[in-house]
Amino acid sequence: MSQIQLLSKPKTKRGSTYLFPCVCFGCRKTFRKPPSETPRPCPECSKPMIMLNRKFSSPKSRDVEQWKKVDYLVQHGFYFFSVYRTAENGKKISVPYPVRLADAPSFVKEFMSQSARHRRGVEEPEGRSQTSSPSDA
């Protein structure tokens, strides 16, 4: 099977029906759902799930170490979007996510500046609002 479609990213339209992986770390399961403003409840335990990038591929539910790795990455704001390393010539190179749990901490450390925690507006605020006031519209 060729994977030519990987390079031509489909544009995301408003109201599109693309499904995104929503994970429940309690059940260690992934459910593919259309994007939603609010976290969707897990169909099995009804805890809010976390929506990840479509690149995410779910580990098997038995694979606890892989789920720990995913949990670790998500906790640090890595939702399986692409991260980039800047090469010496200034080019940006897409970096694969760590395969093993043991590799996750160094990955998080190196790419922390690209974490969702450092991106604005995507994730919920972390309760620390002393840096800037939200009333500058």
Residue 71 is a binding residue for Zn ion (CB under 5 A)? no
The nearest distance, CB 103 to Zn ion, in angstroms, is 26
Toward Zn ion, which CB reaches closer, 28 or 69? 28
Span from 5-13, 24-32, 81-89, 113-121 in contact with Zn ion (CB under 5 A) = 24-32
The site map against Zn ion for 27-46 (x = CB under 5 A) is: x--------------x-xx-
Give the helix/strand (H/E) hosting 54. none
Residue 29 near residue 42 (C-beta atoms within 8 A): yes
CA pair distance 56, 53, nearest whole angstrom: 6
Using an 8 Å Cβ cutoff, are 57 and 64 in contact?
A: no
Strand (E) positions, 79-132?
83-86, 92-95
Among 22, 24, 73, 83, binds Zn ion (CB under 5 A): 24
Measured CA to CA, the distance from residue 82 to residue 119 in angstroms comes to: 13
Cβ-contact 113, 96 below 8 angstroms? no
Residue with Cβ nearer Zn ion (26 or 34): 26
Considering the complex, state which of residue 67 and residue 97 has its C-beta at the smaller distance from Zn ion. Answer: 67
Structure tokens at 22: 């929503």
Binding residues vs Zn ion (CB under 5 A): 24, 26-27, 42, 44-45
